[in-house]
Chains A and B, each alone.
Chain A
Amino acid sequence: EAQVTQNPRYLITVTGKKLTVTCSQNMNHEYMSWYRQDPGLGLRQIYYSMNVEVTDKGDVPEGYKVSRKEKRNFPLILESPSPNQTSLYFCASSLRGRGREKLFFGSGTQLSVL
């Protein structure tokens, strides 16, 4: 089954404790992206990747890191999480991230930073 898999589904952590949210897709997509969803703000892009070893900042990249060492994986790293990073996070992918292509989304990761 074609899918984007995010883990974990829920995560509670404390300020400053490094964490990684994993994302993997099995559709051989070149384009992958991370979004955060906050009430009243919709979804905002954090980082995106056009292909292996090619990543770039989205609209709200501060406090986040990403890497794309393999085509299928695009982990989101919070080196020193803070309470303002409490949010619902989505990983998404599409073939090349262009034109009419819809984004395929993971099931989301609800992160709470205490």
Chain B
Amino acid sequence: AQKITQTQPGMFVQEKEAVTLDCTYDTSDQSYGLFWYKQPSSGEMIFLIYQGSYDEQNATEGRYSLNFQKARKSANLVISASQLGDSAMYFCAMREVYGGATNKLIFGTGTLLAVQP
């Protein structure tokens, strides 16, 4: 069964520094996709970045990059040059890409990031 693990319940980072949020996953599928979402205190879910299991390069979106290590089954989110507005809950999620009985996005338990001035 698919499973997402985020082992860091909470983290602090100084403004302008980089931070890595950990995500490991478990799946027997060969084709899958990994997503990161941000949830600020206002509650909405904001899509940040996507990595496909067969993508040759690690995904990047502005200050967000995904450190994808397929053999280790990890998909860590790296935020460069942290800003106060990055303070939020961050969720890692996974979906199988081809076939399968369901198409749900499975979420981890989240990491609460606090950026300090």
Which B residues fall within an 8 A CB radius of A?
4, 6, 9, 33, 35, 37, 43-45, 47, 50, 52, 91, 93, 95, 97-98, 102-105, 107-110
For A44, list chain B residues within 8 Å (CB): 107
Q: Give the 5 A-B CB pairs with smallest separation, nearest first.
A: A105-B45, A43-B107, A97-B103, A42-B107, A42-B109
Which A residues fall within an 8 A CB radius of B?
31, 33, 35, 40-45, 48, 50, 56, 58-59, 88, 90, 92, 96-100, 102-105, 107-108, 110
- Interface class of chain A by DSSP: strand
A103 CB to nearest B CB, Å? 6
What would be 13 A-B contacts, judged by CB atoms less than 8 Å apart?
Answer: A43-B93, A45-B105, A48-B102, A48-B103, A92-B105, A98-B103, A99-B33, A99-B97, A100-B33, A102-B47, A102-B50, A103-B105, A107-B44
A105 and B44: CB pair below 8 A?
yes
Which partner residue on chain B sits nearest A56 by CB separation? B102
For B47, list chain A residues within 8 Å (CB): 102-104
Which partner residue on chain A sits nearest B46 by CB separation? A105
* Residue of B6, B103, B109, B110 ringed by the most chain A CB atoms within 10 A: B103
Which of A48, A90, A100, A103 is close to B97, meaning CB atoms less than 8 Å apart? A100
Which partner residue on chain A sits nearest B50 by CB separation? A100
Which of A56, A98, A104, A107 is close to B43, meaning CB atoms less than 8 Å apart? A107
A48 and B104: CB pair below 8 A?
yes
Given contacts A98-B97, A108-B43, contact A45 B50 (CB under 8 A): no
Which partner residue on chain B sits nearest A48 by CB separation? B104
B109 and A40: CB pair below 8 A?
yes
Given contacts A99-B33, A100-B52, A107-B44, contact A58 B108 (CB under 8 A): no
Bound together, the chains give a CA A110 to CA B97 distance in angstroms of 31
Bound together, the chains give a CA A31 to CA B114 distance in angstroms of 34
For B108, list chain A residues within 8 Å (CB): 42
Which partner residue on chain A sits nearest B55 by CB separation? A100
B14 CB to nearest A CB, Å? 26
